[in-house]
Amino acid sequence: MQSSLSTDRLLLRPWATGDADFVYDMYSRWEVQRYLGRVPRVLPDLAEALAMIERWKGLDDPVHGIWAIERTQDRQLVGTLLLKSIPASGELPLVPSGDTEIGWHLHPDFWGQGYATEAASTVLEMALASGLEQVVAVTNPANTASAQVCRRIGLDHAGQTDRYYNTTCELFVTSPG
Ligand SMILES: CC(C)(COP(=O)(O)OP(=O)(O)OC[C@H]1O[C@@H](n2cnc3c(N)ncnc32)[C@H](O)[C@@H]1OP(=O)(O)O)[C@@H](O)C(=O)NCCC(=O)NCCS
pLDDT above 70: residue 52 = yes
pLDDT above 80: residue 135 = yes
The ligand 1 atom at the shortest distance from the C-alpha of residue 137 is: 48
Segment 74-109, tens digit of pLDDT: 999 999 999 999 999 999 999 999 999 999 999 999
* Cα first-last separation, the chain: 30
Consecutive H or E run containing 68? strand 65-71
Distance 92 CA to ligand 1 centre (A): 33
User: Domain 5-173, what architecture?
Assistant: 3-Layer(aba) Sandwich (3.40)
Q: Please, where are the H alpha helices in the chain?
A: 20-27, 30-33, 46-57, 115-129, 144-152
Distance 115 CA to ligand 1 centre (A): 7
> Alpha carbon of 126 to those of 13, 80, 91, 144, 172: distances in Å?
14, 16, 33, 25, 18
Confidence (pLDDT) at 164: 97
Q: Please, which pLDDT band fits residue 1 given cuts at 50, 70 and 90?
A: low
Distance 145 CA to ligand 1 centre (A): 6
pTM of this prediction?
0.97
Q: Which of 101, 113, 138 is the best mutation target for the ligand 1 pocket, counting ligand atoms within 8 Å of the beta carbon and taking the most?
A: 113
Q: CA nearest 176: which of 156, 161, 159?
A: 156
Confidence (pLDDT) at 102: 98
The ligand 1 atom at the shortest distance from the C-alpha of residue 139 is: 48
Q: Whose CA is nearest to atom 13 of ligand 1?
A: 114
The ligand 1 atom at the shortest distance from the C-alpha of residue 32 is: 41
For the beta carbon of residue 12, count every other beta carbon within 10 angstroms. 24
The residue count of the chain comes to: 177
